[in-house]
A and B are shown apart, each in its own frame.
Chain A
């Protein structure tokens, strides 16, 4: 586009509004961060001051580590989300490949079943899923593995349909000639999928994996049904619990929020292109 003349006043106003909105997203985080380094009573008097000199203390963080098992919660959350992302990519990838390439009686029906499955809200399935898993003996047991499994299974199912829709679309767009060449070389369908299609689908796998991971990592609703024992808490469950129990210790609350948010911001800054892409793709998820 060629240069166009613009009134500087209008441009200043535009930047002012954009900066204002940027401040509303950045400043609350900074505010919480700086107050996490201040004693509880100092927050009251001047919450906008930087935590330097006498104001500075790490007591909130020490207390946060003493009263909550943050590391344990991180471990549980990362394990759950990692497994969800891996299983979704693996199973949805295979299903999507078959839906994209095979035509057989009923394949249209299967397609609509997938699209329909995207529409089920977690609210509508969670009670029955709990019933089912209780009958299987994996919900609300003392076993760490079963507790994790009881969350992973419904979360995988919840992301499966969306992932298949995204991946089917992508695989349909791949040139079929490569698969034909592999077929000529004597590959069977499984070799074609794992050696030819899967590597080509990597970008779409990344999108799906990032969305599934973040969705599972940030989910409170499903996890609050299945992870009710404190030693099984995920990050979101721990946060929810601590806000109910220690909600009045503002210094520690700020420290806990900081400990949860900062790693996410760091990861976001490194992978923002892929993360934004993944989250937008996830919009089709019901």
Chain B
């Protein structure tokens, strides 16, 4: 047993101190300070809060009446559904397909994954060009296919689609790789047995791959839902300040807007608390829905 080496506990303190100092000062303390800030009067970034709001819960009261809060919560939940169905759904289809081919597996893996490596900011700029009204790739493509009228992809009504499609597109490859790894872990003998029993490819997918992938799909779903709460860069670059008409706010972008653009810093802090609460509640819901199964 290695108990002897580690009986002297003093070195452990030295090892642990820097990491926990970082987390205590720059994560735990700011997290609780932020909750306090949300009750204070704070209209300047960096200034110290000196007095409480009157009443102290004023920001939370305002939240209830603020229509943009509801827009952003609604959009965020929509974003979750889109990432859940779109990202994980498409990833499942692609992963099952790649699992059943013999050539080009590595190529598709490389190509599908690479949008994740590029910064969402750069992708936002790229999609701004792609969805341009009169020169963009999508409109020119539609024109070439015979569509007469140009679509303004950033107009009200369709703006949400234009915002969520790239976010969805970017992360499909991420779940694809996780799922392909899961599929590789299924033993060949099971497939072999199914083949001998005369199962078709579709039957093997339906009765072997998908059930055995259950836990991996659950993990992906949890990641997709919690990931949707963190989306910020791409929507902010494509639709700054919630344009058009503040209809495209997500909880993250609205928090940023209130903090940085309107200098309503304490309200921003309250919105950050809302994001945390939303995250905890949704994680609980998703965990309950996608319970892991033991086989």
Interface contact A25-B23, CB-CB below 8 Å: no
> What total of chain B residues lie within 8 Å of the partner, measured CB to CB?
103
Interface contact B272-A130, CB-CB below 8 Å: no
Stretch in B55-63, B81-89, B113-121, B145-153 touching the partner: B113-121
| A43-87 near B? 1/0 per residue, CB < 8 Å | 110011000000000000000000000000000000000000000
Within 8 A of A (CB), among B186-232: 188, 191-192, 195, 201, 223, 226, 229-230, 232
Specify which of B23, B48, B178 is in contact with A160 (CB 8 Å cutoff): B23
**CB nearest to A13 among chain B residues:** B97
Classify chain A's interface size: 35 or more
Known A117-B23, A127-B37: A221·B233 in contact at CB below 8 Å: yes
**CB nearest to B35 among chain A residues:** A124
- Report chain B residues within 8 Å CB of A24: 169
Interface contact B15-A250, CB-CB below 8 Å: no
| A129-171 near B? 1/0 per residue, CB < 8 Å | 1111011000110000000000001101110110010000000
Known A18-B97, A104-B12, A131-B33: A221·B27 in contact at CB below 8 Å: no
- Report chain A residues within 8 Å CB of B273: 124
**7 pairs from A and B in contact (CB 8 Å cutoff):** A22-B112, A95-B18, A131-B45, A158-B27, A161-B27, A240-B236, A279-B113
A residues within 8 Å of B by Cβ?
1-2, 4, 6, 10-11, 14-15, 17-18, 21-22, 24-26, 28-29, 31-32, 35, 43-44, 47-48, 91-92, 94-95, 97-99, 101-104, 110, 113-114, 117, 119-132, 134-135, 139-140, 153-154, 156-158, 160-161, 164, 176-177, 179-180, 183, 188-190, 192-193, 214, 217-221, 224-225, 235-236, 239-240, 242-244, 247, 250, 253-254, 256-257, 260-261, 264-265, 268-269, 272, 275-276, 279-280, 283, 286
